[in-house]
Structure 1
């Protein structure tokens, strides 16, 4: 349970930091901590449940692009999460860049708070 809670907090923190760093991804005005936590939870569930399915379905494109199509999958997931939460993404290109920044921020946070 401790690992699940720490994942939720790191996902939420990463989404919040990306929303501060990049204007293409932001939380709705008036969004509170609960909205951030819900977005972090849905982002974590999307990465755990939908991402493997999307990567499997796009395997030929991923092989053809040497794995670069994974960014498109990550951008699509971020765009889907934004549709279901208080997170706002201005468009799909912003979702692609936001997903790239989110992966960098998550990488840094996971390195910083590793067990």
Structure 2
């Protein structure tokens, strides 16, 4: 049950983040859920590959290049999901940062973070 709740809250986080940022547009909640699903898949499949190939630059920038990777993944999701539009790289970067904050807040509210720390 917690997986379904987490998925629904991720969709809500996508929708709330798009309301906060003028450069990010989501058509409705169903597209926000689709964005959350595609973003999760991209984080599982594409992100590790990008991190592996950019280890030297990530090391030189003390990990800050990971923010660029997050923004690139958001732009990839923008390309794949028709009801989701990001106006540029900087909006994608802001979207990824605010989305991470919302997901962290939702984890704190639902107690998911505490459950994961106990395991």
| TM-score (ref. length: structure 2) | 0.83
1:35-94 CA distance string (max 9 Å, x none): 222111101111122111111111111111111111100000011101111111001121
For residues 26 and 79 of structure 1, the distance between their equivalents in structure 2, rounded to whole angstroms, comes to 12
Structure 1: segments with no counterpart, 5+ residues: none
Q: Which aligned pairs between 1:1-115 and structure 2 lie closer than 5 A?
A: 2-27=1-26, 31-85=27-81, 86-115=83-112
Larger Rg: 2
Distance of 2:79 and 2:8 partners within structure 1: 21
CA contact (8 A) 1:11 1:43 kept: no
- 5+ residue gaps, structure 2, are 113-119
Contact 2:15 2:28 in 1 (8 A): no
Give the 4+ runs in structure 1 shifted more than 3 A.
none
Matched position secondary structure for 1:88:
strand
Please give the root-mean-square deviation of Cα atoms over the aligned residues, in Å.
Answer: 1.5
Q: How many residues align?
A: 111
Shift of 1:4: 3.5
Shift of 1:33: 3.1
The answer to whether the 8 Å contact 1:39/1:87 transfers is yes
